[in-house]
Chain A
Amino acid sequence: SAVISQKPSRDICQRGTSLTIQCQVDSQVTMMFWYRQQPGQSLTLIATANQGSEATYESGFVIDKFPISRPNLTFSTLTVSNMSPEDSSIYLCSVDDTGGLAEAFFGQGTRLTVV
């Protein structure tokens, strides 16, 4: 299993500003994943982050809006840039199980409100 810590847990931000969300894992993992959960909706994968390479973005998400860093095997950040109210969501970090259990572990999420 993996324990994932996300910071901040919540924030209220002004439109036009940027917020960086941190994700720390208690073990080394190859890939980390960032999801968005818009109000009342399901989770959508934003991007996959590998250490030492650029993140791979899903359709509809771009690096300029959601830059991601992955400096080592236990840490990643997601930045939500030039925010608008439509960016108000819960952002979740996720990692694979490394013990072959075929399951994903999620952080507690960051609840972002843009005003």
Chain B
Amino acid sequence: KNEVEQSPQNLTAQEGEFITINCSYSVGISALHWLQQHPGGGIVSLFMLSSGKKKHGRLIATINIQEKHSSLHITASHPRDSAVYICAAHSGAGSYQLTFGKGTKLSVIP
């Protein structure tokens, strides 16, 4: 069974800081998701990646398949970035199965 670990569990940052959230997994995967969950509950997919790097606005996601590790970076953080960030991994080609990390709660203070 794949284990997905996120760090840190909680993160407080000042507005404008560069933020990194880490995700590691125990077995080979076919794809990895980064998800955002705002207070009030809804989950939004930020990125899905299987190799390399993706960028959307101030968000950057990277994955290193050999090291079984992914990072989510937020540049020039803003209070509206305050949310829980969740990584989730697909195990195996064509696998429906998603294994979720427990999430990182980010608070950005003005």
Are A and B interaction partners?
no
